[in-house]
């Protein structure tokens, strides 16, 4: 399954894959291929540009229910991470008990984040990401 099929689903990715195959067959010069690849990259960015426009429209909405749901989720996640790793150990320390940081959970989070970073590096080295 190609990158486009994973990103957009099988049926929506077929035209992009077909266009890429046609470009490879038509253009034999490396410079021509690079120019064609730049055009394909612009086409691939269209969904991201559209999502950014939708985000702008939502952020300008009068209702806090519509405009504020993304920041609210961000704050909930930040508080959710701050409590077990910062606030709770400080509360325990102030109460006379030695602070216990849940290292198993913290390490799980760090390993997951490092894994995503490694995946990104692998994609770059494999030439699948720019």
Look at residue 103 and tell me if it is in a domain. no
Look at residue 3 and tell me if it is in a domain. yes
Total domains in the fold of the chain:
1
Q: Is the pTM of this model over 0.75?
A: no
Contacts of 67 (CB under 8 A, 6+ apart): 58, 59, 60, 61
Look at residue 54 and tell me if it is in a domain. yes
Look at residue 80 and tell me if it is in a domain. no
Q: What digits encode the pLDDT tens for the residues 44-80?
A: 777 777 778 888 888 888 888 778 888 888 888 889 8
Look at residue 45 and tell me if it is in a domain. yes
Q: What is the pLDDT of residue 13?
A: 55
Q: What is the DSSP string of 1-36?
A: --HHHHHH-HHHHHHHHHHHHHHHHH--SHHHHHHH
Structural domain including 58 reads 1-63
Look at residue 1 and tell me if it is in a domain. yes
């Amino acid at each position: 399954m190609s990158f486009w099929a994973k990103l957009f689903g099988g049926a929506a990715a077929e035209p992009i894959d077909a266009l890429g195959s046609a470009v490879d067959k038509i253009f034999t010069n490396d410079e021509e291929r690079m120019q064609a690849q730049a055009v394909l990259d612009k086409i691939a960015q269209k969904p991201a540009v559209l999502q950014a426009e939708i985000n702008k429209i939502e952020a300008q909405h009068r209702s806090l229910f519509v405009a504020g749901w993304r920041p609210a989720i961000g704050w909930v996640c930040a508080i959710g991470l701050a409590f077990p790793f910062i606030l709770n150990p400080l509360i325990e320390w102030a109460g006379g008990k030695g602070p216990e940081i849940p290292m198993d959970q913290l390490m799980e989070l760090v390993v997951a984040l490092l894994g995503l970073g490694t995946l990104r590096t692998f994609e770059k080295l494999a030439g699948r990401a720019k």
